[in-house]
């Protein structure tokens, strides 16, 4: 895991377009050093965003970090806004989160960090780097799950988190008029077969009428079958603005109001 650079200036909250909201996430780091020897041990650090959480300290939700009495002992902590934490949960926000993971080495023994990359959202970015802009250390926490720090000069690492965004839309509302009808099927066909459609699609998730994770002719056929032959309803979210319950690579540049 990591030593992190000191928290930079607090960034202002970015306003999200209607239909977009910051997603929850939890990053748990197990940081260990010199197990079985004097000055070693394990530190578990947690940083995340959670609905209902406060940006300040809440007993039972957050835990401050307490430094060991022996200044030469191994220790790890998260520094946010000048305060040292063991666990810090914040309210969901779209702004980039920058915090510092501080490391105190026991003599020259290396420090080992590990985390479960599979628990991190697929969207967003979770980057751990050295305090010099990543010139010595640059790790994508979504792509690997452990790290050995054997350079005792790396006592501060910067954790940069771009929170994942949850998109909401109305399935089938291809033209963005907040309903699903024949004009949406026509708009979908135009985007599939015309070089310059009259209205380019801004929400591919909405155009994925059959929810197979892609936009193709099958979506128009599914829509026509529903409209004129008593076919099944398009999968949720249909006729209501909501999140996609099915993970896929489609995005929504213009979410529903």
Q: Are residues 110 and 80 in the same domain?
A: yes
pLDDT for the residue numbered 95: 85
What's the structural domain count of the chain? 2
7 part of a folded domain? no
Number of Cβ within 10 Å of residue 69's Cβ equals: 6
pLDDT for the residue numbered 29: 97
- The strand pairing partners of 67, in sequence order, are none
250 part of a folded domain? no
> Which residue range forms the structural domain that includes residue 146?
20-163
Q: Are residues 234 and 133 in the same domain?
A: no
Q: Are residues 100 and 204 in the same domain?
A: no
Q: Are residues 184 and 151 in the same domain?
A: no
pLDDT for the residue numbered 173: 94
Contact 105, 152 (CB under 8 A): yes
pLDDT for the residue numbered 252: 80
pLDDT for the residue numbered 250: 84
Number of Cβ within 10 Å of residue 49's Cβ equals: 22
Could you write out the DSSP letters of every residue in 61-124? TBEE----SSTTS-EEEEEETTEEEEEEEE---SSPEEEEEEEE-STT--EEEE--GGGS-SSS
- Measuring CA to CA, how many Å separate 134 from each of 54, 80, 89, 129, 161? 30, 19, 25, 5, 14
Q: Are residues 217 and 96 in the same domain?
A: no
CB-facing half-sphere around the CA of 114: CA atoms within 13 A: 4
Q: Are residues 30 and 156 in the same domain?
A: yes
Last residue of a domain, one of 144, 163, 182: 163
CA-based nearest residue to 248, from 213, 209, 219, 216? 213
Last residue of a domain, one of 126, 148, 163: 163
pLDDT for the residue numbered 225: 96
Contact 252, 167 (CB under 8 A): yes
Q: Are residues 37 and 154 in the same domain?
A: yes
256 part of a folded domain? no
pLDDT by residue for the chain (257 residues), tens digit each? 333 322 222 222 233 344 445 578 899 999 999 765 566 789 999 999 988 899 899 999 999 999 888 888 899 999 998 999 999 999 988 789 999 999 999 988 999 999 999 998 877 899 999 998 889 999 999 999 999 999 999 999 999 998 877 778 999 999 999 999 999 999 999 999 998 898 899 899 999 999 999 999 999 999 999 999 999 999 999 999 888 888 788 888 776 77
- pTM, two decimal places: 0.65
pLDDT for the residue numbered 19: 41
Q: Are residues 159 and 188 in the same domain?
A: no
Q: Are residues 132 and 185 in the same domain?
A: no
Q: Are residues 69 and 196 in the same domain?
A: no
Q: Which strand (E) or helix (H) includes residue 125?
A: strand 125-130
pLDDT for the residue numbered 68: 86
Q: Are residues 189 and 130 in the same domain?
A: no
- Distance spanning both ends of the chain, measured CA to CA: 41
Distance from C-alpha of 240 to C-alpha of 230, rounded to nearest angstrom:
20
Contact 103, 2 (CB under 8 A): yes
Q: Which two tokens stand for residue 117?
A: 């990359």
Last residue of a domain, one of 113, 133, 163: 163
SS3 153: coil
What is the dihedral sign for C-alpha 34, 39, 40, 43? negative
pLDDT for the residue numbered 232: 95
Q: Are residues 64 and 132 in the same domain?
A: yes
Secondary structure in 3-state letters for 165-213: EEEEECCCCCCCCCCCCHHHHHHHHHHHHCCCCCCCCCEHHHHCCCCCC
96 part of a folded domain? yes
């Amino acid at each position: 895991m990591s030593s992190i650079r000191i928290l930079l200036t607090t960034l202002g909250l970015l306003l999200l377009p209607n239909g977009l909201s910051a997603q929850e996430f939890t990053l748990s780091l197990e940081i260990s050093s010199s197990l079985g020897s004097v000055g070693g041990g394990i530190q578990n650090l947690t940083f995340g965003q959670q609905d209902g959480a406060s940006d300040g300290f809440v007993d039972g939700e957050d835990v401050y970090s307490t430094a060991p009495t022996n200044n030469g002992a191994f220790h790890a902590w998260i520094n946010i806004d000048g305060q040292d934490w063991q666990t810090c949960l914040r309210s969901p926000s779209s702004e980039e989160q920058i915090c510092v993971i501080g490391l105190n080495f026991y003599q020259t023994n290396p420090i080992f960090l590990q985390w479960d990359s599979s628990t991190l959202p697929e969207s967003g970015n979770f980057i751990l780097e050295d305090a010099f802009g990543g010139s010595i250390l640059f790790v994508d926490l979504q792509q690997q799950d452990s790290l050995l720090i054997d350079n005792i000069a790396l006592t501060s690492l910067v954790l940069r988190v771009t929170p994942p965004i949850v998109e909401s839309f109305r399935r089938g509302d291809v033209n963005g008029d907040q309903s699903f009808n024949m004009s949406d099927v026509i708009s979908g066909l135009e985007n599939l077969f015309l070089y310059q459609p009259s209205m380019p699609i801004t929400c591919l998730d909405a155009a994925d009428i059959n929810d197979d994770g892609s936009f193709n002719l099958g979506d128009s056929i599914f829509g026509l079958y529903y409209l004129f032959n008593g076919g099944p309803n398009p999968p949720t979210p249909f006729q209501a603005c909501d999140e996609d319950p099915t993970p896929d690579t489609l995005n929504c540049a213009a979410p529903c109001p």
